[in-house]
Copies of this chain bind each other. A is one copy, B any other.
Amino acid sequence: MHSFAVNNFRMKYAFLFLMVLVMACQPNKNGNIPVHPIKKIVLEGLNHPWSIAFLSDAEALISEKDGNLIHANLITKEKTIIKGFPQDLTDSIRTIHFGDNSGIFEVLIDPDFENNKWIYFSYAAKKNGVGTTTKVVRAQLDQDSLHNHQTLLVAEPYTREYFHYGGGMTFGTDGHLYITIGERLFWERDEPPVPIAQDITDKRGKIYRIHPDGSIPADNPNLGPDAVPGVYALGIRAAQGITVQPETGAIWFSEHGTIQGDELNILQPAANYGWPIVTSGKLRSSDYTPPKMEGMDFAPPVWFWHHTVAPTGLCFYTGNEFPAWKNNLFVPGLSRGSLWRFHVEADTIKSAEELFLHNRVRIRKVRQAPDGKLYILTDEDNGKLVQITSNQN
């Protein structure tokens, strides 16, 4: 009797446990019911947001190109302006003309933010009466205020060309900070005899690799005694998006061409990406002929488009909501409201999909939250943080 009762009890227990297992066996959401992405607006009223850095799944720092650096809560929708932003920020609202790229660009948190509270940001800094340039600063965040500012990079000279600041940033798997700086020219006909992006003594049109405190890593490539400090690669026209490929640790960056010539590249030390000597597009100035640079190796793009996309802040997806998208590269665009998905294996692009063709909007950045959710920032007066979620949620 007793033993039976015990068996009986054990079996009841196992029975209930198995019931739970069985009930958990729902038809897989990625199985016979196709999973399709839909957009869910999480936050509105952002002034041309440029970048987002997640402090948690629910809290993020958002840089508004034409506004402020903001601390946003994705649940309560509360937005707090971060105090103590540098005073030499160019106000792109007041400055000049349509198409002005000035403003606040990238914002990153330190990999060890939990302990050191460092945040990193880039913006268009002004020098009165001279012009503007791209500046990278870090500061410690405390109670929504910035403290202990340290200037890490100033891409001099200051000029009155208000385009192609670059300002894209990412931390590499090596813990170093990688920064894109554009060449700041609109017309190639204004290039000096040695084009800006090809001039190793000019800070513009380069990609930099520095320590988080701004010092130069000893193992940076040696580009000669005249090279500006921290230069890692050259021949860059207008690169905004730069990100790490988790599977390989490789760094990918997007670049704007002129007439076509929008590209994706993989970063290599001392590589020359060719602008304006070679491009997958056309030069904007029909009367400009770039100088020949015999014997120079130019790194070819991994991908280029046959039409204008204006690719911006890209990222690789590692979340679980879209299993078929695992390790895919997402590239948003300003032009035509593009959101591209690339199936990438190592450095090979196997397919390219343009999403939301029926629902286009200018997109500045695509980012993944710590919980794996995928978000985009729309470049609008009423800019939005939009979650790319599944039609089955």
Contacts and interface: CB of A to CB of B under 8 A. Distances in A.
Interface of A: 1, 4, 7-8, 11-12, 14-15, 18-19, 21-22, 24-25, 27-28, 30-36, 306-307, 320, 323-326, 341, 343, 348-358
Nearest to A30: B30
Contacts of A353: 341, 351-354
A276 B25 CA distance: 57
A36 B4 contact: no
Contact of A306 (B307, B323, B356): B307
A33 B349 contact: no
Determine how many copies of this chain the complex contains: 2
Contact of A25 (B14, B22, B32, B34): B22
A349 B343 contact: no
Interface centre among A349, A353, A354, A356 (most CB of B within 10 A): A353
A343 B36 contact: yes
Contact of A14 (B15, B32, B324, B355): B15
Contact of A354 (B11, B352, B357): B352
Nearest to A353: B353
A36 B320 CA distance: 16
Most buried by B among A324, A349, A354, A355: A324
Given A11-B8, A307-B307, A324 B18 contact: no
Contacts of A357: 349-352
Contact of A19 (B12, B18, B356): B18
If over half of A's interface residues share one DSSP class (helix, strand or loop), that class is named, otherwise mixed; here it is mixed
Contacts of A28: 27-28, 30-31
B355 A351 contact: yes
Contacts of A326: 34
Contacts of A34: 323-326
Contact of A351 (B7, B307, B343, B356): B356
B30 A324 contact: yes
Nearest to A5: B4
Contacts of A30: 28, 30-31, 323-324
5 contacts: A18-B21, A32-B320, A341-B353, A348-B358, A349-B358
Contacts of A33: 323
A155 B35 CA distance: 45
A225 B25 CA distance: 64
A356 B348 CA distance: 11
Contacts of A14: 15
Nearest to A307: B306
Given A21-B25, A28-B31, 14 more contacts: A4-B4, A8-B8, A11-B11, A15-B18, A18-B22, A27-B28, A30-B323, A32-B320, A35-B324, A306-B306, A324-B324, A350-B357, A351-B355, A352-B357
Nearest to A339: B351
A261 B323 CA distance: 35
A125 B101 CA distance: 61
A352 B356 CA distance: 9
Contacts of A1: 1
A308 to B, nearest CB: 9
B21 A11 contact: no
A36 B350 contact: yes
A306 B14 CA distance: 62
Contacts of A325: 34
Contacts of A19: 18
B350 A358 contact: yes
A228 to B, nearest CB: 37
Contact of A323 (B4, B31, B355): B31
